[in-house]
Amino acid sequence: MNASTGHAMFGETPPVRRKLRQEALAQWVFGAMAAAMIVPLLLIVGYLVVRAAPSLNLEFLLEVPKRGMTEGGIWPAFVGTLYLVFLSLAFSAPIGILAAVYLNEYARDNWFNRVINLAVINLAGVPSIVHALFGLGAFVYAARFGYSIISASLTLAIMTLPVIIAATREALASVPRSFREACWNVGATRWQTIWAVVLPNSISGILTGIILEVSRAAGETAPVMFTGVVFFKAVERGDLFPYYLNEQCMALSMHLYTISTQVPGVKESIPFATAIVLLALVLMVNAAAISLRVYLRSRKKW
């Protein structure tokens, strides 16, 4: 067999060339779809940064609003957002994780637990304004917490609870069943297996739900506007603890809406700078959680 015969025998055939063209086309299409998502995002962020540049500095973050919120900074709203996000996380994360553990590890496949699963799925799709009205009735009036940080945080916790439950269940389900069986075979109880094996191996997935919770809680306006966020509240510049939990507070999302639509004469760059700070806050919290998730995932042995 000469070289030309070998080349003809092992060269690309028309079906192979057709598959390669299809592969190249699919790669181009998927790359274009990724660019269609990333490029507009970069353009939006770049536009916000350019418009916010005249006001975007440390003084803007630490200063309080002045002259009817037409000047000054956003410190009260920034701290209020931190209060709301971390308190809602403190309420929703333990409950959501424990509920997911029950549904994935203990619950039997019967009509009652199927109803619970359906309720969790449907709760994730409820509009935020409905959660706001629920929080108003349940926490402000029925529980008598009044318009306060507690009421707003509990409302945000109820709103983000389904996301944490769903993400935690997926993380628990990803742990191989052989891990559980190995523990049971050496005499460990179900709870010992969950605590020592299942939860440590699923913590990176659980953090995914927490990341989503933080992002949504920081940007919501209606739930906190109805339950605990106020138009303006005077605090001291740079004060880290300006609010009591039974008081109302300011929040970045509400503040951004207010100065953009309700306050005339606001310096043009201030709403854009407020939006950048809100975006940066979410990204920083998410980056910390993602870094922890990557570290924990790198320690997995399987």
pLDDT in tens, 138-158: 999 999 999 999 999 999 999
| CB contact burial 86-125 (16+ within 10 A = b; e otherwise) | ebbbebbbeebbebbbebbbeeeeeeeeeeeeeebeebee
- The residue-averaged pLDDT of 179-205 equals 86
Question: Per-residue confidence at 217, pLDDT binned at 50, 70, 90?
Answer: confident
233 CB-contact burial (10 Å; exposed 0-12 / middle 13-18 / buried 19+): middle
Q: What is the pLDDT of residue 4?
A: 53
Q: For residue 127, count other CB atoms closer than 10 A to its CB.
A: 10
Of all residues in the chain, the percent with pLDDT exceeding 90 is 25
The residue whose two tokens read 């309700």 is 262
Question: Per-residue confidence at 108, pLDDT binned at 50, 70, 90?
Answer: confident
- Which structure tokens are listed for 242? 């300006």
- The residue-averaged pLDDT of 174-190 equals 86
- Which structure tokens are listed for 203? 């913590």
The residue whose two tokens read 């424990």 is 98
**pLDDT(135) > 90:** yes
Q: What is the mean pLDDT of the chain?
A: 86
In DSSP terms, which residues pair with 72 in a beta bridge? 65
- The residue-averaged pLDDT of 84-98 equals 91
Question: Per-residue confidence at 125, pLDDT binned at 50, 70, 90?
Answer: confident
Q: What long-range pairs does 48-53 form, CB within 8 A, spacing at least 24?
A: 48/272, 48/275, 48/276, 48/279, 49/276, 51/268, 51/269, 51/272, 52/269, 52/272, 52/273, 52/275, 52/276, 53/269
169 CB-contact burial (10 Å; exposed 0-12 / middle 13-18 / buried 19+): buried
Taking the alpha carbons at both ends of the chain, their separation in whole angstroms is 49
Residues whose CB falls within 8 Å of the CB of residue 159, separated by 6 or more in sequence, listed in order: 126, 128, 131, 216, 217, 220, 223
Q: What is the pLDDT of residue 142?
A: 92
For the chain, give every domain's residue range: 3-52, 58-298
- The residue-averaged pLDDT of 82-88 equals 91
In DSSP terms, which residues pair with 249 in a beta bridge? 229
Q: What is the pLDDT of residue 221?
A: 85
Residue 103 per-residue DSSP state = I
Please name the fold of domain 58-298. MetI-like fold (1.10.3720)
- The residue-averaged pLDDT of 34-49 equals 89
Q: What is the pLDDT of residue 124?
A: 79
pTM above 0.85, yes or no: no
